[in-house]
Amino acid sequence: MDQTEATRRGELLKLWAAPGTNVEIVTVQEGPASIESMYEEYLSIPPVAKIMYQLEQEGYDAAILGCAGDPGLDAFREITSNMLVVGPAASSFHAAAMLGHQFTLLTVADSMIGSSHELVAKSGLTDKLASVRAVNIPVLELAVNREATLEKLVRIGRDAIEKDRADVLVLGCMSMGFLNVAEEMQEALGIPVVNPAKIALKMTEALVSIELVHSKKAYALPPKLASGKVKSLNELLISRS
């Protein structure tokens, strides 16, 4: 993500945030240009892990992943104890499950449909999933023609309602979320449309305000770190040359 887009997203988050919430966008120096495959998800995890670890040391209350596939969420929760880590996908699925009987997830490409089903299953909400439908617009092209993207999202959303009996839609990509189209889709379709960027922010604010952090029973600190055998994340990676 270039700095211009990062700044734009940061301004949107500040606009959505409650009074008293300070929001910062943190970018990595290396990683995939966009995430449209599981391989790209895995490529994105190591540099973000280092940042997550550092942010906790600096005293941040919470961090939200920048991808609605929640890449590395469980790993990031393992290496943090006092800083809440929130995944946009998990937040969106649980919100959708509270808003209706069945939701459709709108993902980026046909190649991501299978992994999207697995992501919903991991959240424990498969019985709430009506379908996964692909927009088939590359992530980096979603904002090129906002009106065309919105029109296609509405058309696919209408198919999900009529053919899959969906009563809630979830935007399955943060670039869709930051396109800020959910409200327009709701007006056109008459059902709730969950924006992963906005719901992750509001979920994070709620959990921080009531002092809840992910369970360390569920996401235990890696044993080598917990025992003191290594002092940092860097020591967990062995390099043989």
Does pLDDT of 241 surpass 70? no
E strand or H helix at 103, and its extent? Answer: strand 103-107
Mean pLDDT of the chain: 94
Half-sphere exposure (CA, 13 Å, Cβ side) for 3? 1
Instruction: Read off the pTM.
Output: 0.93
Q: Which fold has domain 3-87+199-236?
A: Rossmann fold (3.40.50)
Rounded Cα gap, residues 147 and 156, in angstroms? 14
| Model pLDDT for residues 25-66, shown as the tens digit of each residue | 998 888 888 888 889 999 999 999 999 999 999 999 999 999
Listed as own residue / partner, the contacts of 5-8 with beta carbons closer than 8 Å and 24 or more positions apart are 8/178
pLDDT surpassing 90 at residue 237: no
Q: Is 174:36 a contact under the CB 8 Å cutoff?
A: no
Domain with CATH 3.40.50.12500 in the chain: 3-87+199-236, 89-196
pLDDT digits (tens, 9 = 90+) for 110-145: 999 999 999 999 999 999 999 999 999 999 899 999
Query: Is the alpha carbon torsion for 134, 185, 86, 31 positive or negative?
Result: positive
Judge contact between 134 and 162, C-beta under 8 A: no
Q: Say which DSSP state 85 is in.
A: E
Q: Pick the closest to residue 133 from 171, 87, 77, 181 (CA basis).
A: 171
89-196 classified as CATH 3.50.50.60: no
How many CA atoms lie within 13 Å of 10's alpha carbon, on the beta-carbon side?
Answer: 13
Q: Residue 235 has what pLDDT?
A: 85
